[in-house]
């Protein structure tokens, strides 16, 4: 598959190992298992691109293309916005918990623009998204995030959660079934990092209220 030049340019810094040099959403690790961890993410603001498509890969490409235009200056302030990580594609709960044809591709806004994001040009069909502090179950996986492996990775996370104190804690009130976080350039072949994110309802648990194991 040919890699679009715009995607290569905007993600090349991540490929070169500069993830720590760009903004990412802040979180505290509150629980760890051998194959997943629970994180408490802070309040944050994202720019969101809704996409209707059968393919996760195609939806991510189409949504990120619009977001790329936005950060390159297609906004009412003509502001250029620095790249952040990860690019988050959320599978919307429409056709079942692990299958859908609706997606939200999200870009985490840098700290500079968290309080007041530049408004996107109307034709891009983008919307600011205020993400309240929440508890997330996270499973890492390597390689490329593709249509043929993301469902399997989400199912593995579900199995792990069912064997843990977090069984039956996935939030049924959230509109998203799960999300795929991608951290690397399409040109990076070795050492790729992806994550499956699932919202956790921690109202009856103390895990997300603890001081945490580590803060990032």
In tens, the pLDDT along 60-70 reads 999 999 999 99
Give per-residue pLDDT as tens, 184-194.
877 788 889 99
- Residue 108 pairs in a beta bridge with 46
Q: What radius of gyration, in Å, describes the C-alpha atoms of the chain?
A: 17
Contacts (Cβ under 8 Å, ≥6 apart) of 82: 22, 23, 71, 110, 112
Residues 179 and 100 sit within 8 Å (Cβ to Cβ): no
Nearest-5° angle of CA 137, CA 214, CA 144?
A: 45
- pLDDT value at residue 13: 41
- pLDDT value at residue 21: 59
Return the closest-CA partner of residue 193 out of 210, 180, 179, 212: 180
pLDDT above 50 for 18: no
**pTM for the whole thing?**
0.84
pLDDT above 50 for 20: no
Peptide bond just before 86 cis, omega within 30 deg: yes
Q: How far is CA 172 from the centre of its chain?
A: 19
Q: Quickly state the pLDDT bin for 132 (edges 50, 70, 90).
A: very high
Give per-residue pLDDT as tens, 81-92.
999 999 999 988
Average pLDDT, the chain: 84
Give per-residue pLDDT as tens, 34-60.
999 999 999 999 999 999 988 999 999
């Amino acid at each position: 598959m040919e890699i679009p030049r715009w995607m290569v340019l905007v993600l090349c810094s991540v490929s070169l190992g500069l993830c720590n040099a760009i903004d990412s959403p802040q979180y505290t690790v509150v629980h760890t298992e051998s194959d997943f961890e629970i994180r408490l993410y802070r309040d944050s603001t994202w720019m969101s691109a809704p996409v209707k498509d059968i393919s996760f890969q195609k939806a991510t490409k189409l949504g990120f293309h619009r977001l790329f235009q936005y950060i390159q200056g297609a906004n009412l302030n003509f502001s250029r916005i620095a790249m952040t990580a990860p690019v988050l594609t959320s599978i919307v709960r429409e056709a079942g918990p692990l299958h859908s044809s609706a997606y939200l591709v999200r870009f985490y806004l840098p700290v500079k623009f968290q309080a007041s994001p530049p408004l996107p040009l109307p034709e891009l069909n983008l919307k600011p998204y205020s993400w309240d502090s929440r508890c997330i179950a996270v499973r890492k996986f390597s390689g490329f995030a593709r249509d043929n492996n993301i469902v399997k990775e989400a199912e593995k996370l579900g199995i792990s959660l069912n064997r843990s104190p977090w069984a039956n804690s996935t939030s049924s009130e959230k509109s998203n079934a799960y999300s795929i976080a991608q951290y690397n350039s399409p040109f990076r072949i070795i050492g790729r990092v992806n994550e499956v994110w699932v919202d956790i309802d921690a109202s009856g648990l103390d895990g997300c209220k603890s001081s945490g194991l580590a803060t990032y």
